[in-house]
Amino acid sequence: MKSPHVRSIHGIRILKNKHQTIKRLRKEEPAPTLYGDQVWHSSFLIMEYLTQHPLPLRQRIMDIGCGWGLLGIYCAKHFAGDIVSVDADSGVFPYVRSHEALNDVSVRTERATFNDLKHADFAAQDLIVGADICFWPSMVKELKSLISRAMLAGVKKIILADPGRTTFLQLAEHCKENYITRLEPWQSQEQTTSKGMLLIIDNPLAA
């Protein structure tokens, strides 16, 4: 039976805040402390992009700053991706698991900060995605370093999305100076409140 507290966007089911599962998690589980306690709409920008530019099947994909894990779940659902959902706050993982079950997919979770992720972590990935992960000035430096490590490790592509914060634009300028980079305005056709920028970085040296 269709629930009024479940919405479907880009082919995945998402629990609304009034759904009993979300209410239970917020009552029983430790609250996420790093802003992973809600759906960030920049996720839908990357989903829209991948709807228009589908991935090859069974790509190895890392969702950094995953929050509720919707990007990874989308990639697992539509492209049979091998997904690792990474967040510095393990408090988000019960929300990932709930959406994983709701969408009948499987993803792995890993607690790690941007600085924790090493060459070996990136060498096992084809694609990195991340939405709304550059909101503090300190994150610009951290993401510059992360992108450098990922490129050296052979990641083929990185796709990041943001509403267009100054910090994100600073990161984009750095990437345009150092990598094959596109910065594009983007909007989700299914979620009309989701507008912002996509940062797409390609690695020509990746196998």
Q: Which residue has the higher pLDDT, 27 or 55?
A: 55
Share of the chain above pLDDT 70, in %: 93
CATH number, domain with residue 23: 3.40.50.150
**CA 147 – CA 90 distance, rounded (Å):** 23
Whether the predicted pLDDT of 1 surpasses 60: no
Q: What is the pLDDT of residues 152-183, one digit of tens each?
A: 999 999 999 999 999 999 999 999 999 999 99
Q: What is the pLDDT of residues 90-124, one digit of tens each?
A: 999 999 999 999 999 999 999 999 999 999 999 99
More confident call, 142 vs 204: 142
* Arithmetic mean of pLDDT, 2-19: 90
207 domain residue, yes or no: no
- Whether 84 maps to a domain, the answer reads yes
Whether 53 maps to a domain, the answer reads yes
150 domain-assigned: yes
> Whole-model pTM above 0.75?
yes
Enclosing domain of residue 139? 6-202
Residue 106: its pLDDT value, please? 96
**180-187 vs 195-202, strand pairing mode:** antiparallel
What tokens were used for 174? 């750095």
Inform me whether the pLDDT recorded for 125 exceeds 90. Answer: yes
Overall domain count for the chain: 1
Average pLDDT of every residue of the chain: 92
| Residue 1 counted as domain residue | no
Continuous H helices in 114-202: 119-123, 137-153, 166-178
The arithmetic mean of pLDDT across residues 34-61, rounded, is: 88
Lowest-confidence region among 34-38, 195-199, 202-206: 34-38
Tokens 């919707």 label which residue?
A: 70
